[in-house]
């Protein structure tokens, strides 16, 4: 009888240890994936900051040629100021913070679009080497933004799947891991822009 109790006690301890190791593995996996989300977010912020850093040079270049476009230039400067004020802590990424960040970056993108459209009225500006280089750098940066946003969404997707799939969802709930929001297309992006000649 004592030998049977000892075997049962050892079996229970082994099961408890195995379950503990398994749960710890799940938690560590969530931590790793959460850090990957934070890293991907940092890259998104990096490329947006690159765009923000290019704007003062672009505004200065345009200002030299398009002095009559003060309102457009001020709009870009103000949008840049708003966009750089909004930051999102990678540990506190939620739908509301991400929405505010996207709105500010969208306003900046629209202001930049208006600024580049103004350049069409100034042939000397369009031929300026510095303006052309800055424009090319902005285009490259916009491509980088798209790539990093895509990587961020892929990383968030992998994390969210882990947090939501059974049995990981139970461990995620116990340890407080919640799903993260995705970057989404801006309102109106589903409609093609109207081009008029």
pLDDT in tens, 142-188: 999 999 999 999 999 999 999 999 989 999 999 999 999 998 876 65
Distance separating alpha carbons of residues 196 and 78, to the nearest angstrom:
28
Chain centre distance of CA 86? 12
Query: In this structure, is residue 190 part of a structural domain?
Result: no
Query: In this structure, is residue 49 part of a structural domain?
Result: yes
Query: In this structure, is residue 116 part of a structural domain?
Result: yes
Exposed (0-12), middle (13-18) or buried (19+): which is 20, by Cβ within 10 Å?
A: exposed
Query: In this structure, is residue 89 part of a structural domain?
Result: yes
Count of structural domains within the chain: 1
Q: What is the pLDDT of residues 110-142, one digit of tens each?
A: 999 998 888 888 888 888 888 889 999 999 999
- In this prediction, residue 197 has a pLDDT band, given cuts at 50, 70 and 90, of very low
Q: What is the CATH number of the domain that holds 140?
A: 1.20.1440.20
Query: In this structure, is residue 183 part of a structural domain?
Result: no
Domain span at 73: 2-175
């Amino acid at each position: 009888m004592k030998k049977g109790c000892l075997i049962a006690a050892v079996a229970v301890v082994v099961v408890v240890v195995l379950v503990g190791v398994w749960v710890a593995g799940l938690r560590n996996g969530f931590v790793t994936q959460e850090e990957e989300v934070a890293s991907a977010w940092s890259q998104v912020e990096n490329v947006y900051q690159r765009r923000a850093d290019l704007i003062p040079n672009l505004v200065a270049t345009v200002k030299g040629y398009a002095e009559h476009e003060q309102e457009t230039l001020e709009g870009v400067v103000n949008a840049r100021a708003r966009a750089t004020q909004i930051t999102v802590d990678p540990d506190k990424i939620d739908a509301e913070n991400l929405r505010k960040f996207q709105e500010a970056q969208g306003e900046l993108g629209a202001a930049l679009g208006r600024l580049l459209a103004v350049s069409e009225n100034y042939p000397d500006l369009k031929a300026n080497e510095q303006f052309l280089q800055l424009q090319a750098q902005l285009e490259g940066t916009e491509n980088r933004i798209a790539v990093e946003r895509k990587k961020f969404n892929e990383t968030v997707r992998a994390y969210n799947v882990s947090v939501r799939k059974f049995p990981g969802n139970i461990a995620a709930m116990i340890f407080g891991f919640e799903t993260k929001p995705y970057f989404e297309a801006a309102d109106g992006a589903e409609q093609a822009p109207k081009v008029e000649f």
